[in-house]
Amino acid sequence: MTASDDLALEVLVKNSGSSQETQVKVTLTIQQAPEPLKAEQTIQAINPGDTKSVTFKMSDLGAPSYATRTIVKVTVEPVEGEANTANNTAEYIVFFTLE
């Protein structure tokens, strides 16, 4: 990924359940030393079967480590009564570079 002032990471969250969910917390973490970069956003409402986009701007996260293998982790907080939480987390291996 080429880092720039305009860089943003877009996360797509799908409601695979049968009920509308509200106040769904989505966390994006760039795992790096000495401290990870972390941001949270909340989806106000998402209907069953719908997919919502959540955008995390790098300007809000901070400067990532460059030219090293980095893991970007996305976590969607379980909603009340959710039985299957196996699909609430995803990890992606990325390399941030300067242009």
Q: Domain limits at 85?
A: 2-98
**DSSP state, 27?**
E
DSSP letters along 17-79, please?
Answer: SSS-EEEEEEEEEEE-SSS-EEEEEEEEEE-TT-EEEEEEEHHHH-PPPBSSEEEEEEEEPPP
CATH number of the domain bearing residue 53: 2.60.40.10
Secondary structure element (H or E) that encloses residue 40, with its range: strand 37-46
Considering only residues 10 and 83, tell me which one the structure prediction assigns the higher pLDDT. Answer: 10
Read off the pLDDT of residues 50-72 as tens digits, 9 standing for 90 and up: 999 999 998 888 888 888 999 99
Read off the pLDDT of residues 69-93 as tens digits, 9 standing for 90 and up: 999 999 999 999 898 899 999 999 9
The answer to whether the beta carbons of residues 70 and 28 sit under 8 Å apart is no
Total domains in the chain come to 1
pLDDT of 99 higher than 90: no
